[in-house]
Amino acid sequence: MNWDDLRLFLAVARTGSISGGARQLGVQHSTVSRRLRSLEEKLGARLIDRKKSGYDLTMAGEKIKQSAIRIEREMLSVDEVLLGKDAELVGPLRVTTINNMASSILMPMFAEFSNAHPQVDLHILVSNMDASLSQREADVAIRLTNSPTDTLIGKRMVTAASTIYGSRKYLDKIKQQKKEPHWIGVTCCTFHKSWTKQYCDHQSHNFYSDDTLLTLSAIREGLGVSYLPCFLGDADPLLARYCDPDDQHDLGLWILLHPDLKRTARIVAFRDHMLQSVQEKRHLFEGR
């Protein structure tokens, strides 16, 4: 059996849809659909039940999934042994991080590394969801968390502070009117969602945002106030702090990698570069 076909099926099984599997593998939806049908024909069995709400695995699909997972572990162990012996600053390097950091404060750091090591193919993957380093969806993860998973190794680079921001015009307006601020509803991550609920549980929202950069734009337009990381809010001249940062909202910025890759040259070089670069911008992350 072709491992590529099994890998494709496994991506669909894990994401619950053909489009999700296609995104994970970086291929066309039609390619996944066609090859999945071909795999079912070769096996003489349906692997998925197609429904309006998505896809469910059949009994045969569940069995194939478990077999594919075992094969994947063996394939990854071979891959990791080879990568672990790689002493050259050459080859792909996939880094997963959060969009608002990648497109702002971290981008100059990424660019500097890429310019210094042109033979390393740097891929930046942005998502608030944790890409699986164990399944090699990424090689390095840069995450805001106070409880990183214990299956990975890493280092807390810096503390990232957050506080409440509004546009300068909006804050001046509510101050003159002696009114309480209106809050923007946020669903971008569990941190901002819980902080907002804690601070303004009594207030309803008529505008919601599921992305921090979208929230930033909404604040600029005077739609209300919301939590933002200080490295983002302080950098915008149209915004001002509604209050000082509270250390209960501090998060650690971690760089994480799989233990089997800790000696891979390009990963070590990237880790060391990020540790130094983040320290140089420490005051921005800490909101000082």
- Beta strands at 226-229 and 162-167: parallel, antiparallel or unpaired: antiparallel
pTM beyond 0.75: no
pLDDT at 80 over 60: no
For tokens 């490295």, what's the residue? 231
Say what the alpha-carbon torsion angle 222, 224, 225, 230 is, to the nearest 10 degrees. Answer: -30
The fraction of the chain above a pLDDT of 90, given in percent, is: 36
Q: Model confidence over 10-60: pLDDT tens digits?
A: 888 888 888 888 887 778 888 888 888 888 888 888 888 877 666 788 898
Q: CA angle 140-142-147, nearest 5°?
A: 110
Looking at the fold, whether 111 and 8 belong to one and the same domain comes out as no
Q: CA angle 48-50-55, nearest 5°?
A: 65
Question: What tokens appear for 261 in the block?
Answer: 């890759």
Find the domain containing 275 and state its range.
91-160+251-285
Q: What is the pLDDT of residue 130?
A: 53
Number of domains in the chain: 3
Domain with 47 in it: what CATH number?
Answer: 1.10.10.10
Q: Model confidence over 206-265: pLDDT tens digits?
A: 778 878 889 899 999 999 999 999 999 999 999 999 999 988 889 999 999 877 777 888
Domain with 281 in it: what CATH number?
Answer: 3.40.190.10
- Beta strands at 239-241 and 162-167: parallel, antiparallel or unpaired: antiparallel
SS3 59: helix
Quote the CA–CA distance of 134 and 145 in Å, as a whole number: 18
Q: What is the pLDDT of residue 150?
A: 65
| Cα end-to-end span (Å), the chain | 58
Looking at the fold, whether 152 and 266 belong to one and the same domain comes out as yes
Domain boundary residue, one of 84, 102, 126: 84
